[in-house]
Structure 1
Amino acid sequence: RHIPNLTVMAPKDDLELKTMLELALKHNGPSAIRYPRGKVSQSPSATLRGEKSEVRSQKSEFGIGKGEILKEGSDMALIAIGNAVHPALGAAERLEKEGIKASVINARFIKPLDKELFLKIASKTKRIITVEENMIAGGFGSAVLEYLNSVDIPDIKIKILGIPDEFVEQGSQAILRKKYGIDEEGIYQTCKAFLSALTSVH
């Protein structure tokens, strides 16, 4: 994200990948798409006809630097990017069963950020966890932290979930996601600990 004027995207599923490829071709500027290792997550649409119609419906709202709200909540917010979106959504659904209402944001863009959306969400909940399958240092969560720090929201608390600054050992995606706490269970447990720590302080 340190290259000037570079647009960086990360799809949550196969439909977003297709839409991002089309967007990159039409965009007047350099673009990069973080293509996930292995299979791309499948969207709910199973048929080719369904996929085409959903891609068209997304285009009206799918602009450069625009994320989407997948779930509304007032207790905290999970801002996720790429393959981290689905486990974040799963964690939020588990939290809801315990009376914790978490917003889930599909950021879509690592650069530029959807600053308007993030400011709205952060001002509402003031409890933010970013989730990514990338290095934390210089990554998506760091960019969100830098931006929200610059707008000076009182009492906001932010935690970044991702891969620490170390060599990552060889292993399956499932094993590595579990190790670094970026699978559904890890995100769920982090949310619980995050909120519990804030409650104990007050």
Structure 2
Amino acid sequence: MSESKLWGMVHAERAALAEDLAGLKAEQWNTGSLCTEFTVREVVAHLTAGANLGPVRWMAGVIRYRFDFDAQVAYQLAQQLGNDHDETLERFRRSITSTTKPPIPIVAMLGEVIVHGEDIRRPLRIQRDYPIATLTHVAEYYHRSNMTVPSEQRSRGLRLCATDGPFSGGVQDGALVSGSTLALIMAMAGRSAYRAELAGEGAGVIAGSG
């Protein structure tokens, strides 16, 4: 798939998330997300930071924090929070069509906005009908890569099969894990909240490896 098409998917997911965020009440911004260290508002700021962090700034942060990536993430997040949730949302909106990224593949940026979008939506009981093609691209990437999250490590030795799309992967004779493409993605991203949506003898393995 071309870079322009992948960026189009990223931008579409950012725009959909911004639309969902626009309807939040003030107190909902402080809800704990599935990314357990962060509130909803902090996850949004984290996504904004990623959309404004090019290779040079990324490397400067790595050097500044001596390869402490958690400290770098916390610093970049704080830079994008703003004074209140309205400013947090406005900064995110301004980043919707950004093509700036750290030195990672575009599909990893797509995975970030989907996983963190669910980190936000799930606790708030907001549902999104994701395009299956978008989810399939992320699932294919996650089960082969550990670059942004140890997703390949979590699915190693298992046989993955989506029940709502064409995605399948892993070891042919491995323990089966089946479920929606989104549930498989979130399990590979270490979100145990999706355990109940998975089936097969390998479901407990991938869901318990967060």
Select the structure that is richer in helix.
Answer: 2
Structure of higher RCO (CA pairs closer than 8 Å, 6+ residues apart): 1
> Going by fraction, where is strand more abundant, 1 or 2?
1
- State TM-score, norm by structure 1: 0.31
TM-score by length of 2: 0.30
